[in-house]
Chains A and B, each alone.
Chain A
Amino acid sequence: MKYVVYLKQIRKKFDKQVVLREINLVVKKGEILGLIGPSGAGKSTVIKTMLGMEKADGGEAFILATTMPNRKILGRIGYMAQSDALYETLSAKANLEFFAKMKGISKEQLTNEITHVARIVDLSTSLNRRVSEYSGGMKRRLSLAIALLGSPELLILDEPTVGIDPALRKKIWQELGILRDAGTSILITTHVMSEAELTDRVALLLHGNIIADDSPQNLEKQYAVESIEEVFLKAEESEELR
């Protein structure tokens, strides 16, 4: 299968509330997909279904040609959640080491991996400090570094650039670009519409449906607007009218 992520008619409800009506979504090898939608649209549920933390009520989810949920495939995915999810009392290095071991990275590669990801997020000099002493931005970066451990084939990033200053945000996007060019597939959710412009493709999630799925440029053309932000507003408007 050529798709890294392939969600086929995914349906999910919690109790009686339908969260995902029918989600069809693909991420190809070496592309950045931006998943955009208001809070409560079901972005997190889509991600959780992809990771096998939730099981869909209907439809199928394939990741790297494997039906999810599947435990072993998780070693080839890098995941960064909305919350920082770090062990605050431990040093940044201890956090990285722990998650590297959980991902099954061998002892020989451990140090190399940690040095590598720390350099990407610019934390090389403060690895020995305790996470509780870190600023919000530093925690975010460490969280991203953990997701990057083990050069995963698929990166799932939930709001990765919240609380990161513009200069570093730019750097991170550059790095994501490099990773993409090297063949990594990236699924990213974001609130920052200007960031959505930087993706290869944007999927708009609203009321449990994907209402638009195309490159940012095509979407802007289709809705006859200047930016993704306006695409988003217009799409939402027409959805309300329906």
Chain B
Amino acid sequence: MAANSEVYVLGGYQTDFGRNWTKENKHFSALMRESVLGALERCEIAPEEVESAHVGNFAAELYCMQGHLGAFFTEAHPAFSGLPTGRHEAACASGSIALLAASAEIEAGRYDLQAVVGIEQMKTVSASEGGAYLGTAAWYAEEADGIEFPFPKLFGRLGDEYDRRYGLKDEHLAEISKINYANAKLNPNAQTRTWYMNKEHALCRTEDNPAVGGRIRIADCSQVTDGAVCVFLASRSYAERYARGMGRKLEDIPRIKGWGHNTARLRFADKVAESRDAEYVLPHVRSTITSAMKRAGIENVGGIDGIETHDCFTTSEYMAIDHFGITAPGESWKAVEEGWLEIDGKHPINPSGGLIGAGHPVGATGTRQLLDAFLQVTGQAGDYQVEGAKNFQTLNIGGSGTTSVSFVVGV
């Protein structure tokens, strides 16, 4: 296993995930531009300093009829013309895959300062058309073709698998939804910060909260939205200079202390068949989480002050709870009942509101999680700050538990 990484996180910028860029009549190049220029300004980095850029995006070809997204980075500022750039795709984990590639290049000594942009514009199409596009994150022909909203159904099956192995109550899922929505109210960039939500609504069984896939109802889902997040990753030598220039100590600049990355088989049925006799329903996700901790030199979740996890649906957060080791396998409900997941709880999860509350512009989510982890460990998360956080861990998942990436960010 690779030694502790020396990749520093200098910060970044998130667009307001409540915005609908189609309603503003904007091309996604505007989304790219706002996030990149915002990050330069926020981090006080001159554009000429940036040496390379990685763009994480899932499906601009479908949503925006546009490929070659790495090249669009150069449109954000004249100084970027000529920079080496590229685009990375791994469904909802696209942003994290871009981060992995950028950090690997820093570790290899190729570049000292990298921009990583996660970006997705999704409000360009209707909900059902977009639902079909999202189906391409599964094995489309096998699991999505001809099915309306395939992903809620796949993650409904994750809930069913928990129910079969360990038992699962809807009220625990509703509580997860409630916490994410409540946290989102504290996050000025969250998509749902003004939405009406409470636990009773999450549990209500009326047309205001319709079922969209088995046990998954609207309140259990993250919602599609438009958004971009740009972060800067740097080598140790750049971070030293940067810290000096900003009048800070190098120790105060967060590092990516550890990472994990696994890819399971595409079809959900194959995943659960593989794990039939295992403790964990999605063992490769578990392995992603534990290898990130191990690389960070952190023994278990007790050394993690907070988590930004991939709650594309309440069932995926329910899965994350035991997979992080917060409870024994199958006992995620205990953490829900004990109040451990709340911002001031023992194991805060998604203080930002997560995907359910903050919004899920697919390709931007991994970078959004990393930026939130950065804000937490530098004490800049405002109303959703976890007090005294030093180490935060992310979990970003593409497909039905297929590609998983996790980072431990800490000071």
Partners in one complex: no
